[in-house]
Structure 1
Amino acid sequence: MRQLILSIASVLLLSIGLSAVAQAQTLPTTTISSTSAEAPEIDPSEMSPEAITSMVARMSDDQVRAVLLDRLDAVATGSTSGEAPQSLIDRGAALWAAFSTPLLDALRKLPVLVPSQFQAFSNFTASYGGVGGVMGLFGLVALILTVALAVEYGVRTWLIKIRNPEATQGEATLRGSLTFLFKRFLREIFGLVIFYITVRIMGRTLLDPQQVTFVAPFIGYMIWMPRIAAAFSRFLMAPNRPDLRLVHISDRWARFIHRHIIGVVILGGATIFVVDFNATNGVPPVTTRIGFWIDSMVYLYIAFIAWTAREGLSEMMRGDDPDRTEFDEALARIYPYYALAVAGLTWVLVSTLIGLQQVKLLLGGAHYTTMFWLLMVPVIDTGIRGLVRHLVPPMQGEGATAEEAYMATKRSYVRIGRVVAVGAVLALITSAWNVSLLSLLQDRAGIADNLFSFAMTVIVGYVVYEGVSLYINRRLAAEMTALGMSQEDADNEMGGGGATRLSTVLPLLLVTAQGVIIVIFGLLSIGNLGIDITPLLAGAGIAGLAIGFGAQKLVTDVVSGVFFLVDDAFRVGEYVEIDGTMGAVEKISIRSMQLRHHLGPVHTIPYGEIPKLTNYSRDWVIMKLKFTVPFDTDPNKVKKIFKKIGQEMLTEELYKDDFLQPFKSQGVLDIDDVGMIIRGKFMAKPGKQFMIRKEIYNRVKSAFAENGIDFARREVRVALPEAAKELPAAEQAALTAAGAAAAQQQEQQAPAAAPKGPDG
C-alpha cells in the first residue's frame, strides 16, 4: 500500500515539478511543503524525477497523503474552472432546439404514422391468437363492463331509495343546493368504486395476465377517468338542474362545457393509452410520434372550448356578486384568453421536455395535472367570492361606515381565500412533478430553499396582515354602528354625540399594527433570501436617532397626542373648542387632528399646539330655550304647559331614551320693552338635543295656540290725550299714523345690536 501511495505521489510531484520548472523564471523562490507535517523543501529548478523520488522516499505516510489530497483538490478545481459558463444565448438556443426537435421529428415521421399503427394492431392481433382471439377478448371486456355497470346501477338505485336524493324544483338555497349536489356526487363516486371493484374481480377471474395488461389501461384511461371528470363537472355545472347550479352560467354554456370537459379527458386518456399500447406491441413512441400528435390535439381541443364558449366562461367568472371589483371584471374578461395561453404554454412545455429527453415526467400526466389546476385557479377564485358572499354575516347598521366595513370584511376574506388557494394549487402542481415541499424544507440548501422560505414568509405575513385588518375593521364597524347615530345627527350644527373611545383608537391601532407587520415580515423575508439584515437594523436605529434629534416638534406632537388619547380628552365625532377654534373631531392621525366647523371649514391642529381643549359632547348636554310672551300672560299657566309637554315626550318611544331630565319651565328670565322672556330647559344625551329642541318648539307653538297665548311682537303704541279723543275719527287716524312714523324713524336711528354667536 505504501509503495502504491509513493508511486502516485511521485507521478503527481513530477507533474508539479514540470509545471514549476516552466514557471521558474516568474516564481524563482517557489517551494513545496506538506500542510500536515514538515516536508522536505526542493527548489523548482531541481525538480528532476530522481530528486522527486528521493524526496518522496524521505516523506512520511501522512506527508504523502497530504500532498496527494492537495494535488487532487487542485486538479478538481482546475477542471471546474476550465469549463466556460454557458451564456444566456446558448441556453436559449438549447431550449429552442429542445422545443423544435420533437415537432420536426414528428413531421418527418408522418409518412410512417399510419403503417406503424397498423403494425401495432397486427402485432396485437397476433399476440392474442388472431382475429378470433381479439374478438373473444372484446367480448369478455363487454361482458365485464355490462356486469359492472349493472351492479353499479343497482347499488345507486338502492341508495336513491333509502336516501331520497332528488331535490324539489324551484328556488333553492345555497345550503340546499350544496347538500343535494354533494350527496349526488358521493353516490356517483361510490357507484364508480363499486364499478371498479366489480371490474377488478371479474377481470382477475376471466382474464389472464396478458389480457389484463391491455384491458386495465383501456378501462382506466378511456372509461374510469372520463366518468370521474363527468361526476366533478356535474357537481359544479349541474347541466340539467339550473335551480341547483353553483356557478353563474346559462343552460346552453353549462351543457356545452360539461360535454367537452368529458371529451378533453377522453382525448388525454387516449394519449397515454395509445402510447402505452404501441410500446407494448412493438412500436416504440419514437417510431411514429403519435403521442405527440394526440397530445397536441388535447391543447387544440381546449383552445376550441375556450374560444367558442368565451361568452359563457366570462359569464361564469363574473358571477352574480353585486359587489364585484374592477379586478373581478378584468379577470372575467381575460379568462378565455388566459385558458388559450395556458393550453399553448403547456404544449410548449411538453415539447421542450420531450426534446430534453424527460419523457418519464410526462408518462404520469403531470402536464395535464398542471394545466388542469392552472385553468381551475380563476374558477376557484369565483367560488371563493361566491362562498364569501353567502358566509359573511349581513351588514350591521346603516350608513357609509357600516357599508365600508362590510365591503372591507368581504374583500379581506376573499384575499385570504386567494392566498390559501394559490398555496394549495402550487402544492398540488409540485406534487404532480414529484417535487416534495417537505423534503425541500428539510434539505434547506441552495437558492430554491431561499426562494421557498421567502415565499412562505411573505404568505404568512400577508395572512397575518389581512387577519389583523379584518379583526380591527369588524370591531370598528361594530363600535360605529352600535352608536345608532343618524345622518341628521351627523349634520347637526354643533355638539353632536361622539364615537366610543375604542372606535377612536382603533384606526390608529390599525395603521400601527399594519406598519409593524410589514416591517417585521419584510425583514424576515429579506433574511430568508440570504441577505444580512444587521446593517438594515443598524441603519434604522441611526435614522431613528437622526429623526428624533432633527424633528423634535414632530416628536412633541406624537407624544402629546398619545397622552391626549390616554386622557380620553376627545373622540371622533365630538364637538370641541381649542384655543378659540371650534368644530367636530372628524379625523385623527398620529401627529394631528382635524376639526370640522359647523359652517364647513376644516381646521388641522397638531397635538403639540393644543394648550387647552373644551369638549361640548361629553356625557350630557343642557339645552335652554327662550320664549317671549305678552305682559298679560300668566307665568304659572306657561309653566304647566311646559311641564305637560315634558311629561308627554318622556312617554314617547322616539324621545324617551334621549332625555336625561325632562323639559320644564325656569320661570320669567327677563322683561323687556316687548314682553316677558320665559325660559325652559332639558337635559339630553349629546347629539340628541337638536332633534328634541325642534319637537319642543313645535309643541309649544301648538299648545300656546290652544290656550290663547300669543308670542310677543315688537309694536308701536300711540297714546292720544283726552282732548284728541273728541276729534273726528279721520283726524285720530292721522295722529296715530304720524306717531307710528316717528317711532319707526327713532328705532332706525338706534345703534345696531351686537351679533350673536352660535349659542344665540
Structure 2
Amino acid sequence: MLKPLQPFAMRQKGFRAIISTLLLACFAAFAFVRPACAADASSNTGLSDAQARQLISVLSNDSQRQQFLTTLQNLVKAQQNTKHTSLLTMARDNLTEFGERALQQLHVLHQNIIDFGAIGPWLGAVLHDAALQKTIAHIALRVLIMLAVSFVLLYSVRLVLRPLRRRINRMAKEHNKKVFQNAARKLRKANADAEGLAQHATDEATSAKTTSSHDDAESVQATLEESLRHQGALTQLMLCLRRAPYALAWAGLELLAIVMFPLVTLLMGVLDPAPTPQSDHALWSITWLVGIGLGLWVILLRIFLAPEAPWLRLSILHDRTANFIFRYLRHIGYIIAWGFAALDVIATMSVPSPVLHGLQKLLMLVVHFLLAVMIIRSRGIVRRACQLVGANNRHLQSLMSVIAKGWWIVALFFDGALWLVWAADIAGGYQIILQLFVRTIVALVIVRVVSILIYGGLERFMRALNDWNLNGETLARIRRYYPAATAIIRIIMAVITILALAIAWGAPVYLLMGQNTLGPRIFQAALTILVALIVGVVAWEVANVTIEHHIRRLDAQEGRDTKIRVARLQTLTPMFRILFLLILAVIIGLTVLSQLGIDTGPLIASASIFGVALGFGSQKLVQDFISGIFLLLENALTVGDAVTLNGTYGVIERLSLRSVHVRANDGSINIFSFSSLSQVTNYNRDFSRAMILATVDIESDTDQVAAILVEIGKEMRHEAPYKDLILADFDLWGVSAIGTSSVSVKGVYPTTNAGRWTVEWEFNRRMKKRFEEHGIQYPREVVDIQGAALERFITNAAPSGETPQPPQH
C-alpha cells in the first residue's frame, strides 16, 4: 500500500507548489492590472467563485496547466527584457557588488593573516595567575640585565679600541691616496700613448689614399678609447681590493666588541642562582639575533658601503648611493633583529601561537613597507645608472630606458606579493607570483605593440595630409585636433591596459562581457558617444570651411555687389556659428545622456515648458533677435557702414544677435536694440551723393552762380585726388529756393560711399573761394523793427552823418 501512495504524495507536493505559484502570480496580476470597478476593490480582496472554479479547472487539466505556466514564464521574461536599466545604475550596482565582495575577501584575508583573538584570554591569565607573573618578571629582569651589561661592555671596548681604529683609518686613507695617485699617473700615461698612436696613425694615413686612411684612423681611435674605458673600470676594482686589509682590520676590531654579547650571556648562565630554560632561551635569542646577527650585518654593510670612510669601501659606489643603501639596509636589519628577538622573548612568556604568528606577519609587513619606501626613493639612483649604461652601450639604450621607467613597479609588485603569499600561507603562491609576473609582462608587451601601431597610424595620417593637396588653413584645422586625438587614444589604451592586466591576473572579466551586463553597455555607450563627437566635429569643421571658402571665393571677385555680399556673410557668420554650435551641443548632449541611461523625454518636455515660459517672459529679447535677423538678411546693416539710427550718426563697429553698436563722431559708443530702430539711414549702399547747396544774396546773378558750380565740378572730375571718388559729372539741379534776402542754387555730385564727404567738403571750399573772387555776396541778416522798438531806435539814433548806435542798457 505504500508504493502506490508514494507517487500520489509526490504529486500532491508538486501540485501544492504549482497552486502556490499560480496564486502568487494571480495576486501579482491583480495588483498591477486593476479592474474597472476600483471603487469597491477594497471590499473584495479575494477570488470570486467563478474565478476560483475557472482556476481549478485549469489546474486540473495537465495541458492547460502547462500552457498557463508557459504563459506566466514568458510574461516574466518579457518583463525582464523590457525593463530599462540605465548605465549609471548598472555601474553603481556593479561597483556596490564589487565593493561587498572585496570587503568579504579582505575580512577573510584578515582572519587568515592576523588573529589576535587569543590575546584577551592571555592577558586575563597574566592578571590572575601569580606563577605566570613570576615567570614573566623573572625573564624580563634577566633580559634587562643582560642588555644593560652587554651594551656597557660593547661601548667600553669600542672606547678602548678607538685609538687603534683611528690609526687604521688614517693608514687606510693615506694608502688610498697613494694608490689613486699611481692610478692617475698610469691613466695620464695611457692617454698620452693613445694620443701619440692616434697622431701616428693620422700621419701614416695622409701618405696613403684618402678614403682608406680615414677609415684606418677612425678604427685606431675607437680601439684606443675602448681599451682605456676597460682599463679605468679594472683600475677602480683593483683600488677597492687594495683596501681589503684595512677594511678587514677594522672589521676585526668590531668583532671584539660584538663578542661581549655571548660573553655576558655565558657569565649570566654561570652566575644565575635560579636559571630556567625560558630565561636561557630568551637570553641566547637576543645574543644570536641582536648581538651576533645584527653586529655582523652592520659590519658587512660598513665593509662594502662605508658611508663615512670611502677609503675603506670595498665597492665601486658613489658616496651618495652608498650612504642611501647603508641607511635603509641598516634600518631593516635593526627591525628584523630586534623584532624577532622580542618575539622570541615574548614566546617564552606563554603567549598563544596565533598571536605570535600575527606579530611576526606584522613585523615582516613593516620590513616590506620599508623596502617599498627604499624602492620608491631609489628611482633616481637607478635611472642615472641606467642612463650611464645606455650612454656607454647604444644597443642597450632602449632596454635601459624601459628598465629605468618601470623597474620600481615590478619591484613593488614582488615586495607586496611575496609578503602576501607568506603571510596568507597560499598554497603554490610563489609559483602563482611567477605566473602573474610573466603574464603581466606578456600583457604589457602586447599593449605596447598595440599602442605603437595606433600612435604610428596617427602619425602617418598626419604626415600623409601633406600629400593631399590641402591648403594651409585646412591643414591647420585638422592638426588642431591632434592633441584631442592623442588624449582619446591615451584613454583607450589605458582601458585596454586595465583589461589586459585583468585577464592576465585571472580576473573574471567574462562576467562583464555577458548578455545584459555592464561591459557591452559601456562599450556601446562609449562607441556611440565617440561617434557622435566625431560627427559633430566633422559637421562643425565642414560648415566653417565651406563658409570661409565661399567668402574667400567671393572676395576674390571684382564688383561692388560681391563686396556687399562678402560683408553681409561676414556679419551673419558669427550668428550662424552660434546657432549651429548650439544645435550640435543639444544633439550631442541628448545623445550622451541617452547613452548614460538618463531618460531625455522629461528633459525635453521640461525644456519645452521652460522655453514657452521664457518666451513669454522675454518677448523683447525674442523681438530683438527676430528683427536683427531680418535686418541682416535684407542687408540693411553691415559692420563699417556709416548710418544714422534714430537720429544718431556714426559708424557700425559690432553686430550681435540683438543689438548694433555705433561709434559716433565724438567717439561715444551707442548701442541700439534691433527692435528699437524706427528709422535706419545707411550711407553705404551702392553709391552716395555729395549735396552741393549755394545760398547767395538775393541780388546775385543765379546764372553766374550756376556757371561757377559747373566749372568747379568739371575741375574736380579730372583731378587725381578726386576722380576715383566721383562716379559721374556734376548734376546742376537749378534754383531750389528763394527767400526775402537769399536765393539757393542746388546740385549733386554722384560719388562712392567713401568719397561723399571728401568731395563735398572740397567742393564747398572751392565754391567759397570763387564767390569771393567774383564778388558774389552771401545773404545778410535782415532785422524787422516795428512799433515801440522803431521809436526807441530813432530816438537813440546818432546825429546826421553818423551811424546810429543801439540803445544802452
TM-score by length of structure 1 reads 0.39
TM-score w.r.t. length of structure 2: 0.37
Structure number, greater radius of gyration: 2
Higher helix share: 2
